[in-house]
Each structure stands twice: as C-alpha cells, then as structure tokens.
Amino acid sequence: MSLEPFKVLLFDCYGDWETGMLENFTPLLDQPSAPSRDRLFEVLGPIENRIQDEQPTMLYSELLAKVYIETAEKLNLKSDEAQAKAFGNSIPSWPAFADSADALKKLSEAGLKLVILSNVDNKSFDGSKKRLEKGFAFDAIYTAEKIGSYKPSLRNFEYAIENIKKDFGLEKEDILIVANSKYHDVQPGHKKGIKSAWIDRERAFMGVSAYKDVIPDYQFQSMMEFANAVIKDKS
C-alpha cells in the first residue's frame, strides 16, 4: 500500500519519553526496592491515563508531578513534593530519538505538512522543539493544553482534523498518523478513520505492550526508514 496519497503527517513518535522518565526517576530507582523498568511503566501507565481522563485541562508538567507521587506510593517507594515537581518540570530535557530531527527535515523538504499532536503542554514542548527543528519548522503544533484534553480522547483527533482542514484546506483522507503508541494514537485514530504508520521503537512499553491486537496500516522500525519509504513512494 503506497504512502504517496498522504499530504499531512500527524506526529507523536519523535521523543524518547520512556528514557526521559527513567532518567528523572532517579530518586525512586536508587532505592533498594526499586522495580524493573517494565514494572515501573506497568504501574505508571494506568495512573497517568486515569489522571489525564480525570483532569483533562491540567498542564502535563503538573499532571506528571501527581503521577510521580502516586507511582511511588503504589510501589511502596519514598518520595516528596520537591522530587515530584522536579520530575514534572523535566519534560523539556527529555531526549528525542536519534533519527527524529533528520527524518523530519527530510519529510519537510519533500513537501509534506508536519503537524504535532502531543499529550504535552506548550512550554514543555518548546524544549522538545529546540532539539527537533533543525533546518525546518513544524507546520502546526496541537498540544493537550491547546485542545483541553489528552489522547486517546477522540476530541484531540477531531481537533486535528478540523484545524488541518481550516489551516491547509486538506481532508481527513490526506492525513497519516505517525506514532509509537497504539493506545494513544493508532487505535483512536482508526476510530476517526485516519490511517496510521506505527514506528516500532525498540523496548517501548507504554501504550504498546498491551495492544498487540491493534494493527496499524503501515509499520516501520525507525523514523528514517519511514521517511525514506515516503520519499520513494512520492518519487
């Protein structure tokens, strides 16, 4: 199935969120009873999803502070408010995947509209953007803060469809979701009739491990592999 028809790429696979979280969970992971990586995310994921559902307008940085405290309690680890606040404020330092910036630049140069649809607040994304916009600029950025809800709410995808049509005159059929999380992106995107390219990030756990029955329309092992496939189909 060709990638040629798509004109807008709706991204949320550029940032290595799990590594960013692990690097800033040090006060918990240095404790003797610290869990394994997968156990940490097994506990954290449902807590984050629940709070996002209960507090859809809470800034992501503030929400993560609550996630930190609740995750520590669930795992019987010691934590405090200062640690939690530092964790929430650490988002701008979370790394991008190594291939993200170059792949995004390549796709932009090929004439595609690059749009972010991310569960993040505006200030936190500004930090990520500095590591990603190398010789190009995103055509639109739709954050949870702008929308007032968190994915997998269909409201976020409706917002993207509506604003892509308003800003670029393009239809739902022109959009391709490019993401790693099947829970946050692929599954709800399909519910709104948007096709998806899944980037199979090695060891990714949250939104992936429990959703093996969610089948994307395309699958790639990296952003650069995806970018090369798009350019090949459009040449």
Query: Against a cut of 0.75, is the pTM above it?
Result: yes
Output the pLDDT for position 153: 97
Domains in the chain: boundaries: 8-16+95-234, 18-93
Catalytic positions are 12
pLDDT of residue 13: 66
Report which residue type is found at 34. A
Nearest CA to 177 out of 206, 158, 162, 197 is that of: 197
Nearest 10 degrees: CA dihedral of 186, 189, 190, 193? -150
Q: How confident is the prediction along the chain (235 residues), in pLDDT tens digits per residue?
A: 799 999 999 998 667 888 888 899 999 999 999 998 889 989 999 999 999 999 999 999 999 999 999 999 999 999 999 999 999 999 988 888 888 999 999 999 999 999 999 999 999 898 888 888 889 999 999 999 999 999 999 999 999 999 999 999 999 999 999 998 899 999 999 999 999 999 987 665 554 665 688 999 999 999 999 999 999 998 8
Which one of 3.40.50.720, 3.30.200.20, 1.10.150.750, 3.40.1410.10 gives the CATH number of domain 18-93? Answer: 1.10.150.750
Superfamily of domain 8-16+95-234: HAD superfamily/HAD-like (3.40.50.1000)
DSSP-assigned letters across all residues of 128-197: HHHHH-SS---SEEEEHHHHTS-TT-HHHHHHHHHHHHHHH---GGGEEEEES-IIIIIHHHHHTT-EEE
Tell me, what's the pLDDT at 81? 95
